[in-house]
Structure 1
Amino acid sequence: MIERARDFIWHNARTLEQRLFEHAFDGGGAEAVVRAVLAYRNDDGGYGYALEPDHRGPTSQPLHALRALQVFGEVGAPEHATSVLTWLNATCPDGSVPFGLSTSKDHPKAPWITADDQGGLLLTSQIAAALHALGISDPWLDRATDYCWREIEQLEATHPYELRGAAMFLDEVPDRARAELVAEKLRHLEPSTEGYAEGEALPPHEFARKPTSLARAWFTGEQLENDLDELERGQQEDGGWNFNFPAFTPITHFEWRSIATIDALLTLRRYGRIS
Structure 2
Amino acid sequence: MLTGNQYQQIRSWIYRNARPLDMARWNYHFEGGTADDVIRILESFQNKDGGFGHALEADCWNPNSSPLQTWWAIQFLKEIGLRDSSHPMIKSIMKYLASGDGMAKGRWQFSVPSNNDYPRAPWWSYSEADENPGYNPSAALAGFMIKNGEKGSDEFKIGFDIAGEAVEIFLNRNESTEMHELRCFIELYEYLVELDMNSVVDIEAFRKRLIDQVNCTIEKDISKWAAEYCCKPSHLFRKPDSIFFKGNEKLMEEELRFITDSLSDEGSWAVTWEWGDYEREFAVSRRWWQANIGIQNLVLLRDFGRLKY
Please report the TM-score for the alignment, with normalisation by the length of structure 1.
0.86
Question: What is the letter of the counterpart of residue 136 of structure 1?
Answer: N
How big is each residue's C-alpha offset from its partner over 1:123-172, in whole Å with a ceiling of 9 and x where there is no partner? 1234346x38x953451332332233123213323333333333343344
Determine the structure 2 residue equivalent to 1:152. Answer: 170
Determine the structure 1 residue equivalent to 2:288. Answer: 255
Q: Does the CA-based 8 Å contact 1:17-1:258 persist in structure 2?
A: yes
Pair 157,38 (structure 1): closer, same or farther in 2 beyond 3 Å: same
1:186 aligns with 2:221: no
Match of 1:167 among 183, 186, 190: 186
Determine the structure 2 residue equivalent to 1:244. Answer: 272
1:142 aligns with 2:171: no
Q: Does the CA-based 8 Å contact 1:47-1:68 persist in structure 2?
A: yes
Deviation of the 1:247 alpha carbon: 4.8
Question: What is the letter of the counterpart of residue 238 of structure 1?
Answer: E
Bigger shift: residues 110-119 or 262-271: 110-119
SS in 2 for 1:19: helix
SS in 2 for 1:121: coil
Pair 172,232 (structure 1): closer, same or farther in 2 beyond 3 Å: farther
Deviation of the 1:102 alpha carbon: 1.4
Query: Counterparts of 1:102 and 1:170 in 2: how far apart (Å)?
Result: 30
Q: Percent identity?
A: 24
Determine the structure 1 residue equivalent to 2:240. Answer: 211
Show structure 1 runs of 5+ residues with no match. Answer: none
Determine the structure 1 residue equivalent to 2:57. Answer: 52
Q: Does the CA-based 8 Å contact 2:217-2:231 persist in structure 1?
A: no
Question: What is the letter of the counterpart of residue 115 of structure 2?
Answer: S
Looking at CA atoms only, which structure, 1 or 2, has the larger radius of gyration? Answer: 2
Determine the structure 2 residue equivalent to 1:120. Answer: 134
Query: Counterparts of 1:128 and 1:269 in 2: how far apart (Å)?
Result: 30
Bigger shift: residues 198-207 or 14-23: 198-207
Determine the structure 1 residue equivalent to 2:33. Answer: 28
Match of 1:88 among 82, 97, 100: 97
Question: What is the letter of the counterpart of residue 268 of structure 1?
Answer: L
Question: Quick one: higher RCO (CA 8 Å, sep 6+), 1 or 2?
Answer: 2
Q: Does the CA-based 8 Å contact 2:177-2:213 persist in structure 1?
A: no
- Number of corresponding residues: 268
Query: Counterparts of 1:228 and 1:59 in 2: how far apart (Å)?
Result: 37
Determine the structure 2 residue equivalent to 1:107. Answer: 118
Deviation of the 1:95 alpha carbon: 5.6
1:228 aligns with 2:256: yes
SS in 2 for 1:105: helix
Question: What is the letter of the counterpart of residue 163 of structure 1?
Answer: L
Q: Does the CA-based 8 Å contact 1:45-1:86 persist in structure 2?
A: yes
Where does 1:9-24 land on structure 2 (aligned, <5 Å)? Answer: 9-24=14-29
| CA RMSD in angstroms, aligned pairs only | 2.7
Question: What is the letter of the counterpart of residue 208 of structure 1?
Answer: F
Match of 1:177 among 201, 204, 208: 204
Q: Does the CA-based 8 Å contact 2:271-2:290 persist in structure 1?
A: yes
Show structure 2 runs of 5+ residues with no match. Answer: 1-5, 150-154, 220-225, 277-281
Deviation of the 1:273 alpha carbon: 1.7
How big is each residue's C-alpha offset from its partner over 1:213-238, in whole Å with a ceiling of 9 and x where there is no partner? 2222352x222211221122232211
